[in-house]
Structure 1
Amino acid sequence: MLTFDDVKAAAERLRGVAHRTPVLTSRTLDERLGAQVLLKAENFQRVGAFKFRGAYNAISRLDSARLERGVAAYSSGNHAQAVALAARLAGTTATIVMPHDAPVAKAEATAGYGARIVRYDRYSQDRRQIAEQLAAEHGLTVVPPYDHHDVMAGQGTTALELVEEAGQLDALVVPVGGGGLISGCATAVRALSPATRVIGVEPEAGDDVRRSLSAGHRVEIPVPRTIADGQAITAPGELTFEVVRRLVDEVVLVSDDEIRAAMRLLFERLKIVVEPSGATALAALLAGRAPARGRVGVVLSGGNVDLRRFSELLDG
């Protein structure tokens, strides 16, 4: 069971390695929503996303024998980059299974950190199966993108830092893919700010977590087709779903157009670039899907999108 002690231990491992990302505010945003909005800007994290926290926490705990053999991961981009960089910092090698249609900027960055990339078709092949086969053949340690105790604990340091800096929150709104980020964040917030309402946000096409909560068990859906590629997950993790079921109050949905609107506002008003998955939490507030009352923390989970794609997205 993931505990707040696990999150605090992860914070110590990440101290001086991960960035302590800023908490941004906007008077325009506060006036529009009628609340004090506190944006945890993980687009300024190493590799441009919160994923570095979990990847480094997990890899830093491997023994020398495992580090000597190397690590493997499967990801559409942000976890791929995070594992690649964390592996390099730990003095080991990384093999990353990435879909053929992964964003070019994310694939190039992953390779730039020194990782070996193995491509697959996300609509016809099982990425986890490919990674586990490679691991078995080469003695690699698989670092999953979300369904892993140390990964979840590392992601939870996002909310730990937010509450330490901003104080008690009335609500915390978090993007949900496989559930690693919201599991860690909910664990931290329940310890530090128990009255906080924790709200997850999924793209409409990728509502596997909300369906799973309604059904009372993990539900698998077809591969989602959404601009939020980091949330194109078919089912919540086994470990993460149990945490979400216990600690998350609600999961809401946003459309691709609502995500675009949030990206545009962040660019025009706060002068920052956020990728689609990174904008879903704010999109939920702007669209009225998540309550905007009192002091609301919002996780901007990443900013990995190249200029051409960013322009295409804002043009619709």
Structure 2
Amino acid sequence: MDAHRIRSADLGDLDLSVTRIDMASRAIDPVFRDTPQYVDEQLCAALGRRVIVKVETANPLRSFKGRGADFLLGRRTDARHVVCVSTGNFGQGIAYAARARGIAAEIFAPAGVNPSKLDRIRSLGATVIEVAAGRSAKEAAAEHVAAHPDCTLIEDGREPEIAEGAGTIAVELLRGERPDAIVVPLGDGALITGMARWVKEFDPDIRVIGVCATGAPAMLHSYRAGHPVATDRADTIAEGIHVTIPVPESVARLTRLVDDVLPVTDSAMLGAMHLAATTLGLILEPSGAAGLAAIANHDIPGATLATILTGSNAHSTHLSALLDPH
């Protein structure tokens, strides 16, 4: 898609609001706001590109997920008991925001999720329900809510407020040096669509590019098809972008707002984790390094690129990549 065709005049019917993104930039918990963004010379030399990094790992959750969760629950003043599905980071965001408001939270986790992420969710006061292999965590959560009318089901990627909260990253990013393209890890789509809504309103010539794992191509296929395309399974170490069943609302936003979606391999993400550790001194999880992996392995046009380092809750089995990506 040509970035010059994505203009604010064409986006007025979207359910994402630049007014609410602006509101969120002041309303969400300050602990998640105004994160570091800078150019590191060693990283640029290694990539052969000028790259701005925005670091979303220096907060109590070690990821960007607190932004959207906090904005959402701040507006759902009638919620008393919330339920969601998460592979870890979003669950932490909901647990953190719920605890701050005295709301009960239950997080349904698919089988095989990083146990350290589940421990962190529990430490924030939420209940974790681990769903057995072969059963859909999404279906289990929906059944639970159907049986408990006092519960509110929250779906990452569906709720506009989550994307709008994540869109505050773009508000901050565009206050600094202007990039020609922004490269964003693409999981359920809340982050990239929230950011793209702001970018396309105020500087539509900046390209917004999503990054999927080659082993989890559902969002890539959905973007190219223009409608949700589910896959039977996903095989990737990147939990944060592990998607098999795209959220229709998110795909609808994605196809309107995003300029391209690129795949990266698990090996490329491990290499990007190593690169971040040796140049930036940062520990990233695979999905958190996906943007760097795309910049390293794809010829993305532009003199200056930006990427979001989205999370640092790495599984213990992946930490060896920080020393040796192979």
Q: Same fold (TM over 0.5)?
A: yes
CA distance in 2, matches of 1:17, 1:268: 26
Per the alignment, residue 191 of structure 1 pairs with 201
Match of 1:297 among 300, 303, 306: 306
TM-score (norm 2): 0.90
User: What amino acid is aligned across from residue 237 of structure 2 in structure 1?
Assistant: I
Q: 1:76 to 1:290 in 2, by over 3 A?
A: farther
Per the alignment, residue 216 of structure 1 pairs with 226
Cα offset, 1:137, TM superposition: 2.6
Contact 2:274 2:325 in 1 (8 A): no
CA distance in 2, matches of 1:223, 1:163: 37
Q: Which deviates further from its counterpart, 209-218 or 194-203?
A: 209-218
3-state secondary structure, aligned to 1:205: coil
User: What amino acid is aligned across from residue 38 of structure 1 in structure 2?
Assistant: I
The answer to whether 1:103 aligns with 2:114 is yes
CA displacement 1:7-27 (0-9 Å, x = unmatched): 112212115252321113211
CA distance in 1, matches of 2:237, 2:84: 22
Cα offset, 1:2, TM superposition: 0.8
Cα offset, 1:134, TM superposition: 1.9
Per the alignment, residue 116 of structure 1 pairs with 127
Contact 2:187 2:241 in 1 (8 A): yes
CA displacement 1:91-117 (0-9 Å, x = unmatched): 111101012311111010000001111
Per the alignment, residue 92 of structure 1 pairs with 103
Q: How is 1:97-246 mapped onto 2 (pairs within 5 angstroms)?
A: 97-121=108-132, 124-138=134-148, 139-164=150-175, 166-246=176-256
TM-score (norm 1): 0.93
RMSD: 1.7
User: What amino acid is aligned across from residue 36 of structure 2 in structure 1?
Assistant: P
Per the alignment, residue 54 of structure 1 pairs with 68
The answer to whether 1:31 aligns with 2:42 is no
Cα offset, 1:216, TM superposition: 2.6
Cα offset, 1:142, TM superposition: 1.6
CA distance in 2, matches of 1:212, 1:301: 22
Tell me the matched-pair count. 310
Contact 1:84 1:110 in 2 (8 A): yes
Cα offset, 1:196, TM superposition: 0.3
3-state secondary structure, aligned to 1:48: coil
CA distance in 1, matches of 2:216, 2:315: 23
CA displacement 1:157-181 (0-9 Å, x = unmatched): 11211112x2322000000011111
3-state secondary structure, aligned to 1:55: helix
Q: Which deviates further from its counterpart, 185-194 or 246-255?
A: 185-194
Per the alignment, residue 83 of structure 2 pairs with 72
CA distance in 1, matches of 2:226, 2:110: 30
Q: 1:228 to 1:306 in 2, by over 3 A?
A: closer
Q: How is 1:6-21 mapped onto 2 (pairs within 5 angstroms)?
A: 6-14=20-28, 16-21=30-35
Which residues of structure 2 form unaligned runs of 5+? 1-14
Contact 1:66 1:141 in 2 (8 A): yes
CA distance in 2, matches of 1:306, 1:24: 26
The alignment-based identity, stated in percent, is 31
CA distance in 1, matches of 2:72, 2:22: 14
